[in-house]
Amino acid sequence: MKKHVVLYKKLSAQLMDRLQAQAKVTLIENLDAQGLAQLRTALPSAHALLGASLKLDPSLLDLAPHLEAIASVSVGVDNYDIDYLTERRILLTNTPDVLTETTADTGFALILATARRVVELANLVRAGGWQQSIGPRHFGSDVHGKTLGIVGMGRIGEALAQRGHFGFGMPVLYHSHSPKPAVEQRFNARYCDLDTLLQQADFICLTLPLTAETEDLIDARAFAQMRPDSIFINISRGKVVDEAAMIDALRNGQIRGAGLDVFEREPLDPVSPLLQMDNVVATPHMGSATHETREAMARCAVENLLAALAGERPANLVNPGAWKR
């Protein structure tokens, strides 16, 4: 008898056929009120879940007594109570590696767009405001040769350092939980404490996960350490930053601008002060949003899930303590 998989993310026809060949699949197309009700109805018989962007707390998962595995179509796993899953021996998998380069591309796009005021000036042209050669009032700042500061030196941080070092001749500073000698050798990068990075970097880029230790890591004190000409980039998680403090820093000229792909609450409220600031480039959590990468992420998640249901250890197991075979 096929095991029951509850899918709350649409898959390509090829991946859906592959999943349905080995499991009974319930597809929930939208995570609206009706979809969440459908999810609650399906959970009591579910052996596995596959999806993204849904917080699965213990009160919800308690409805699924037969649950064996969750395949998250993401790198971040802050939507899950990992201790709870491990205690229940529910395998949690994610999709690292396949989105590294694409997300780093997004980070560098935000660096360039913010420094060169691309969105602001494109809107100026669109509105008919380009009547003569632009002057100093509309000048941006160079990216090449400037100091790139990376907070969190995992896969995405390394990919960002590669772009900055080899593509733009940028000195690289980084802060992480421990030094990375291979990164230092390859990119001529320098490990430093967070305060030093905030004070010296021209571009301060967050690429670290959201954890209890990193929540609100960049607060009012951190913004006060930055220079008035520095540019802040966040492609990690919104809650790593105290958003109110960031808004104050932008308003008060503590920093020059910000390129943001993530926010405390998503989607971003249309009345957010961030959307009224010309020195902010805001994008809709699009870090991995290319056709190629999203398909690769979904394929990785399906492979993780099918391995778990077959009694095999998945390649991308987040909580190895749940492995009981």
**Residues annotated as part of the active site:** 237, 266, 285
Burial class (CB within 10 angstroms; exposed 0-12, middle 13-18, buried 19+) of 221: exposed
DSSP code for 163? I
- The dihedral over CA atoms of 200, 202, 207, 210, expressed in degrees to the nearest 10, equals 70
Three-state DSSP class for 93? strand
Number of residues in the chain: 325
Token representation of residue 85: 């899953």
Q: How far apart are CA 95 and CA 303, in angstroms?
A: 10
Residue identified by tokens 């360039």 is: 112
* DSSP 8-state assignment for residue 8: -
Distance CA 289, CA 99 (A): 9
